[in-house]
């Protein structure tokens, strides 16, 4: 039996990258989905792709840093499927101009914290009561190795991801009684930079980034979205990770081991 038969999963940042890779894997293993993203065109394309494969999937186009978006997504899950079992908080940004702390404008600091951290708070507060009423389940948050190890000229992103790790641990402690586990993943170099940053990078810059990864990562390469998605599915699975909660799972090819 597939791991997510009869499971309902809500995922943010699901129109591309890791979010879409995880959505595809959840779908392949029997889940019904509620997908959230601010990019309507890509989100509808993802929905169409999954529906053609026979997946039950609903979408919410919206800004994850707004409480209304979280409310709408959770309400849609309950209305369409009657329950919610897994929340995957994946949406985040890492703007190129968010550099050293003293060079980061206040408005940009607020934007990164709102999307990367506040969104996790909003979706957790909206979704956890429904997950509890559904008999329990799992919260998986996307943090980063930047939340464990400071990266040069990437301060606000690292701050936001360190806070996501602590938020995850707090949820794990507070909601174990509700049969809810909470864990986060900490990816390192992945096959492509985040969507917002990639849009501002030249192909030459991307090639240099891949070369840099080959130097810094003991396994000698960037990770693939599908590799990380498998770890997300593992943490979301009651069958495989039933005794894991409050963990920050590092998926970085050995980058932070140096």
Active centre residues (catalytic): 157
Terminal Cα-to-Cα distance of the chain (whole angstroms): 40
Compute φ and ψ for 9, nearest 5 degrees. -125, 130
DSSP string, 129-196: HHHHHTT-EEEEEE--GGGTSPPTT-HHHHHHHHHHHHHHHHHHHHHGGGTEEEEEEEE-SBSS--HH
DSSP SS3 for 89: strand
* Residues shown for the chain: 258
DSSP SS3 for 207: helix
Query: Which of 113, 117, 118 lies closest to 156 in space, CA to CA?
Result: 113
Q: What is the Cα–Cα distance from 237 to 180, expressed in whole angstroms?
A: 12
């Amino acid at each position: 039996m597939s791991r997510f038969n009869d499971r309902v999963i809500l995922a943010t940042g699901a129109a591309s990258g890791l979010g879409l890779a995880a959505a595809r894997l959840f779908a392949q293993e029997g889940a019904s989905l509620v997908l959230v993203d601010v990019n309507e065109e890509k989100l509808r394309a993802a929905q169409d792709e999954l529906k053609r494969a026979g997946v039950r999937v609903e979408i919410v186009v919206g800004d994850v840093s707004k409480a209304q978006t979280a409310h709408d997504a959770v309400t849609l899950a309950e209305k369409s499927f009657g329950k919610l079992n897994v929340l995957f908080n994946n949406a985040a940004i890492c703007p190129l101009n968010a550099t050293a702390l003293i060079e980061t404008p206040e408005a940009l600091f607020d934007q990164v914290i709102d999307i990367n951290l506040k969104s996790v708070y909003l979706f957790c507060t909206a979704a956890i009561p429904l997950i509890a009423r559904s008999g329990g389940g799992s919260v998986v948050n996307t943090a980063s190795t930047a939340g464990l190890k400071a990266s040069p000229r990437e301060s606000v992103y690292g701050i936001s991801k360190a806070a996501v790790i602590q938020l995850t641990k707090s949820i794990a402690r507070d909601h174990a009684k509700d049969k809810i586990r909470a864990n986060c993943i900490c990816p390192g170099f992945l096959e492509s930079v985040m969507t917002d940053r990639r849009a501002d990078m030249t192909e030459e810059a991307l090639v240099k980034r891949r070369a840099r990864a080959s130097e810094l990562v003991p396994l000698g390469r960037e990770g693939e979205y599908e590799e990380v998605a498998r770890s997300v599915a593992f943490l979301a699975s009651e069958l495989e990770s039933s005794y894991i909660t409050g963990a920050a799972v590092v998926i970085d090819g050995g980058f932070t081991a140096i």
